[in-house]
């Protein structure tokens, strides 16, 4: 961000205020968003993964949410090099936790099952089929196995055990991946869930799978371990999809999940500044906080000056777009729209991003480059 552009209207000190909820305390309001990296051979994170996360902790990120880690169900993984969260992989994750804590940070794993997104032939068991609530991957496409009652029960147990393992090896919280068209979200979404049992039908029934995961996990870990749920309206299969068309429908979706044990909601959007419903400037995290009263994380192109944003990086008045968007973020924080900010690609590119923002070293921030996905730094 050029230093000769307009200064932010509200101080960035808002990002560095401590956060405290009933179950989680953080030194500031900035979270590293989960980003799949594919650098874990045999599904086991190594020393390079530990160093990658520790580097962000060393640069004052308040909470790191790991890349998606697959639970102990045979069809959970869908991509090569993705880390597991069971078996031999847990020893690798213990090294990650220790490295992040030694650097002064806190960390939560994201527990994940890809569902119908799984591609045939993917390891570690190439014969394992993709599975989902109705075997539907997207509108009009049936390419996976419909989950049986026993498979649903086994998957619920796998998520719950993952939460317990996270607690036992020293993680500070756990996030359940219920967004972007993966398994939990496939139960949420009426396009991919055509079941007529207790897991399908109304919006409330489509929440039942996630509710049982939360309830079973809570039984295992006790009351004090923080649960984060990431959810989204959009799907990889359909960027325009919506679970809730109105605030009233969003309330029907969120309240049962809140009552089931979610402590913090991670409301995933592609652009944080976009209003979620007509008639209000609130984004999805803002509505989530308003409805549930629980802390909410906003996310979506924070810190980016090119991807998804206007060409030439300048608006019609010649102001740097990314800096103007940071103004918007800070104003929303000042208005108590949300509590925490998740930063993805900006932190992937530049582990010192937050320190540079704090010191207003705009010219020193590395602009995100897609090539960086191919490296682990």
Q: What is the pLDDT along the chain (377 residues), one digit of tens a residue?
A: 333 334 445 689 999 999 999 999 999 999 999 999 999 999 999 999 999 999 999 999 999 999 999 999 999 999 999 999 999 999 999 999 999 999 999 999 999 999 999 988 888 899 999 999 999 988 778 889 999 999 999 999 999 999 999 999 999 999 999 999 999 999 999 999 999 999 999 999 999 999 999 999 999 999 999 999 999 999 998 999 999 999 999 999 999 999 999 999 999 999 999 999 999 999 999 999 999 999 999 999 998 765 434 333 334 444 444 555 788 999 999 999 999 999 999 999 999 999 999 998 988 999 888 899 999 99
Contact 37, 53 (CB under 8 A): no
Q: Hey, what are 373's tokens? A: 């996905």
Exactly one of 52, 53, 79, 182 is catalytic; name it: 182
As a whole number of angstroms, the distance between CA 305 and CA 108 comes to 28
Residue 182 a catalytic site member: yes
124 preceded by a cis bond (ω within 30 of 0) = yes
The 3-state secondary structure of 287-323, one letter per residue: HHHHHHCCCEEEECCCCCCCCCCCHHHECCCCCEHHH
- Exposed, middle or buried, 364 (CB in 10 Å: 0-12/13-18/19+)? middle
As a whole number of angstroms, the distance between CA 301 and CA 348 comes to 12
pTM of the model: 0.93
Walk me through the domains of the chain, giving residue ranges and CATH numbers: 12-374 (3.20.20.70)
């Amino acid at each position: 961000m050029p230093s000769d552009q307009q200064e932010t209207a509200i101080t960035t000190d808002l990002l560095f205020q401590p956060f405290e909820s009933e179950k989680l305390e953080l030194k500031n309001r900035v979270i590293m968003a989960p980003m799949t990296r594919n650098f874990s051979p045999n599904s086991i994170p190594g020393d390079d993964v530990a160093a990658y996360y520790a580097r962000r902790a060393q640069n004052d990120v308040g909470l790191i949410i790991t890349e998606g880690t697959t639970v102990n169900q045979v069809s959970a993984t869908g991509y090569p090099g993705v880390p597991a969260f069971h078996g031999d992989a847990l020893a690798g994750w213990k090294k990650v936790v220790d490295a992040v804590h030694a650097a002064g940070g806190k960390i939560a794993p994201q527990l994940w099952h890809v569902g119908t997104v799984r591609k045939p032939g993917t390891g570690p068991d190439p014969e394992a089929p993709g599975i989902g609530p109705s075997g539907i991957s997207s509108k009009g496409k049936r390419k996976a196995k419909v989950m049986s009652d026993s498979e649903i029960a086994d998957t619920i147990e796998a998520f719950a055990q993952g939460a317990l393992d996270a607690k036992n090896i020293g993680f500070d919280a756990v996030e359940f991946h219920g967004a972007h068209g993966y398994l939990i979200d496939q139960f949420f979404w009426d396009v991919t869930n055509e079941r007529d049992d207790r897991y399908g039908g109304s919006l409330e029934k489509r929440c039942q799978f996630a509710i049982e995961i939360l309830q079973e996990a809570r039984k295992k870990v006790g009351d004090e371990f923080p649960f984060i749920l990431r959810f989204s309206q959009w799907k990889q299969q359909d960027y325009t999809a919506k679970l809730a068309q109105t605030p009233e429908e969003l309330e029907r979706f969120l309240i049962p999940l809140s009552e089931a044990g979610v402590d913090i909601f991670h409301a995933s959007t592609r652009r944080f500044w976009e209003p979620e419903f007509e008639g209000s400037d609130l984004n999805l995290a803002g509505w989530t906080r308003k409805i549930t009263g629980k802390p909410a994380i906003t996310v979506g192109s924070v810190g980016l000056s090119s991807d998804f944003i206007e060409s030439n990086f300048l608006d019609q008045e010649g102001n740097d777009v990314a800096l103007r968007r940071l103004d918007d973020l800070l104003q929303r924080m000042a208005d108590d729209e949300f509590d925490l900010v998740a930063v993805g690609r900006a932190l992937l590119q530049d582990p010192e991003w937050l320190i540079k923002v704090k010191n207003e070293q705009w010219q020193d921030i590395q602009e995100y480059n897609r090539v960086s996905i191919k490296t682990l730094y």
